[in-house]
Chains A and B, each alone.
Chain A
Amino acid sequence: QSALTQPPSASGSPGQSVTISCTGTSSDVGAYNYVSWYQQHPGKAPKLMIYEVNKRPSGVPDRFSGSKSGNTASLTVSGLQAEDEADYYCTSYAGSNNLVFGGGTRLTVL
């Protein structure tokens, strides 16, 4: 069982927005602003999309945004495109140099 809870699936039509949640506890997501999101296409390595809750690495489209409220972090993908179809994982720092992962969400573009 993963430390962070994500919905197993999410979906949206092209052009729509979809939000994926990542629920932790007051010891991880709620305690630190070190939530990250990764995108993984089948057979590929994960790719960092968001770090420190809402920061985007260079090259990541601004259609991807992150936020946090209490013990729940969220990734929002706006203006869905076919290439956004992938698995998405959240992680959070949990203190004492521990990092916890979510179980992943499969995003389907209808």
Chain B
Amino acid sequence: EVQLVESGGGLVQPGGSLRLSCAASGFTFSTYSMNWVRQAPGKGLELVSYITSSSTIYYADSVKGRFTISRDNAENSLFLQINSLRDEDTAVYYCARPGRPYAFDIWGQGTMVTVSS
């Protein structure tokens, strides 16, 4: 079964850090770009970052300089290091696979990041 499972979310104070992980299974992870998409409570979806199979990286302007995406193809895992957290980073963070051109066909269940003092 093709599956993505996120972990690493939690409650963190402003200015703090977290490392999110996404474990992939059921497909050849190394051949796919992988993405992080977030959704603030009651809000829409926002593409946060992606990393291609050749390790080209993109960040949304809102997270540039604070978030770092990486992948470990040997472990079929995607990561997102999030530093200098702000209130507005509070969201469910999903990892997603673009199995169709510019479309995410597989999503994880999401991991909640809450930034609060």
Q: Quick one: which of B64-117 are within 8 Å of A by CB?
A: 94, 100-105, 107-110
**B103 and A52: CB pair below 8 A?**
yes
Tell me, in angstroms, the Cα distance from A99 to B45 when the chains sit together. Answer: 11
**B45 and A57: CB pair below 8 A?**
no
The secondary-structure label for the interface of chain A is: strand
**A36 and B102: CB pair below 8 A?**
yes
Which residue of B47, B58, B101, B107 is within 8 Å of A46 (Cβ)? B107
A45 is an interface residue with CB less than 8 A from chain B:
yes
A24 is an interface residue with CB less than 8 A from chain B:
no
**B105 and A48: CB pair below 8 A?**
yes
* With known contacts A45-B109, A45-B110, A52–B101 Cβ distance under 8 A: yes
**A48 and B100: CB pair below 8 A?**
yes
Q: How many A-B residue pairs have CB under 8 A?
A: 58
**A51 and B107: CB pair below 8 A?**
no
Return chain B residues, CB-CB under 8 Å to A99.
Answer: 47, 102
**B104 and A46: CB pair below 8 A?**
yes
**A52 and B45: CB pair below 8 A?**
no
Q: Quick one: which of A25-44 are within 8 Å of B by CB?
A: 32, 34, 36, 38
Which residue of B58, B103, B107 is within 8 Å of A91 (Cβ)? B103
A103 is an interface residue with CB less than 8 A from chain B:
yes
Q: Quick one: which of A90-104 are within 8 Å of B by CB?
A: 91-93, 97-99, 101-104
Q: A32-B102, A52-B101 are in contact. List 6 more A-B contacts (CB 8 A).
A: A34-B102, A36-B103, A57-B105, A89-B44, A91-B102, A101-B47
